[in-house]
Amino acid sequence: MPDEFHAATDLQVTKALDALTAQFAATASRQRIEELFQDSVAQLRGRSTVESYIPTLAARLTSERLRARGQVDGSIAKDVPEVLFVSLHGAGRAQIAAALARSFAHESLSAHTAGSGEFGELEPNLVTAMHEIGIDVEGAFSRPLTPEVLDAADVIVTMGRSVGAVSIPVDADYRDWRIGDPEGASLDEIRHIRDDIAGRVQSLVDELVAARTPV
């Protein structure tokens, strides 16, 4: 790996690459993993992520991208539908939706978030509103919107027109939800947004579960 990080992080990066190589040995070479890791670092740096967090986040993003690629080419099994929630920063409506989907679905689907612009911080009122219903979203990870992430998704939900340009795969089940933006909103406003999203997510989960249930 090029000398991109402070010396103190070199061991962390090496361990991350070793772990990824062991995990994806059957589907990707070490060279390919390192290339994807480098690209993940570049994408994270372009989205205002705190520098000290980049190696850890890059490892997580690389893992998700390798998994997504494997699902697309059939080398990694897809056990449940993959649902991708996309918002501009990936840190507001998308995080609410993904967290609720995981809570409602009970492992009958896999829910992820992605941001089409720079990453944003979770609104404190959003964290509070989710805590009120027993869901912890602190430390949630939102991915950059990469082709692998889009291609592996069975359902793609964009959270309003503010997400910007998104290249939706032609065979994807695509939904667009027009929902209020929680950025800078009061706690009461975010509660309304949360409840609006909850109703939509519950309907989506019910639909996907029903589609997988034998008649």
pLDDT tens for each residue of 136-189: 887 666 678 888 888 999 999 998 765 556 788 888 899 999 888 888 889 999
C-alpha to C-alpha distance for 168 and 166, rounded to whole angstroms: 6
Residue 215, pLDDT above cutoff 70? no
Residue 81, pLDDT above cutoff 70? yes
Comparison of pLDDT for 120 and 13, the residue scoring more: 13
Mark 184-212 as b/e (b = at least 16 C-beta within 10 Å): ebeeeebbebbebbbebbeebbeebbeee
> Where along the chain do the CATH 3.40.50.2300 domains lie?
82-212
Question: For residues 69, 137, 124 and 178, what is the CA-based torsion angle, rounded to 10 degrees?
Answer: 60
pLDDT of residue 51: 67
Residue 120, pLDDT above cutoff 80? no
Contact 87, 179 (CB under 8 A): no
pLDDT of residue 2: 44
* pLDDT single digits (tens) 187-213: 999 999 999 999 999 999 999 988 877
Fold classification of 82-212 is: Rossmann fold (3.40.50)
pLDDT of residue 5: 57
pLDDT of residue 198: 96
* pLDDT single digits (tens) 4-56: 555 556 778 888 999 999 999 999 999 999 999 999 888 887 665 566 678 88
C-alpha to C-alpha distance for 114 and 150, rounded to whole angstroms: 9
Global pTM reads 0.83
Taking residues 96-100, report their average pLDDT.
Answer: 93
Comparison of pLDDT for 52 and 109, the residue scoring more: 109
C-alpha to C-alpha distance for 104 and 102, rounded to whole angstroms: 6
Residue 100, pLDDT above cutoff 90? yes
142 DSSP 8-state letter: -
pLDDT of residue 3: 47
